[in-house]
Amino acid sequence: MEEDKLQLQYLQVEEVKNAFIRQLIKDAEMCDIHIENVIISFDTLNDLIQNIERILIQISRATNGFEKIQSWLYRVDVSEITIKNKLKQYPDSDYLYVVSELIVKRTLQKVVLRFLHNQGKL
């Protein structure tokens, strides 16, 4: 949880927030998922997670929807084991909400690490 709080603090840095948004869009587009209209502005990370969840719900209804979702998970490096562990930890959680949360948090983690590396802090 401390790690999540620290990463959220970095979203206050405009450079990190912009890089985060660009990375989310890039990773999604590489999987033929278009999210640019829902992530340009968000008040909280939870708002963003819920917006992405809504998109994933729509995508999951398409013929090849779950393939696209799996591709996005692979692209951002979220394993099936990570998803299963999160669902065990929070058994009442919706699968697509958990997937959305893990995609957002993993992308943020990568962007923050890249930012810290470029700042010479790692």
Q: Residue 4: what residue type?
A: D
The total of structural domains in the chain comes to: 1
DSSP 71-83: HHHHHHT--HHHH
Cα–Cα dist 71/119, whole Å: 31
Q: Which two tokens stand for residue 48?
A: 């963003």
Q: Where does residue 6 rank: exposed (0-12), middle (13-18), buried (19+ CB within 10 A)?
A: exposed
120: left (phi over 0), alpha (psi -120 to 50) or beta: left
pTM above 0.85, yes or no: yes
Separation in Å, CA 22 to CA 16, 71, 73, 94, 108: 10, 18, 17, 26, 11
- What does the pLDDT look like over 76-107, one tens digit per residue? 999 999 999 999 999 999 999 999 999 999 99
- What does the pLDDT look like over 28-81, one tens digit per residue? 999 999 888 876 667 788 888 998 999 999 999 988 899 999 999 999 999 999
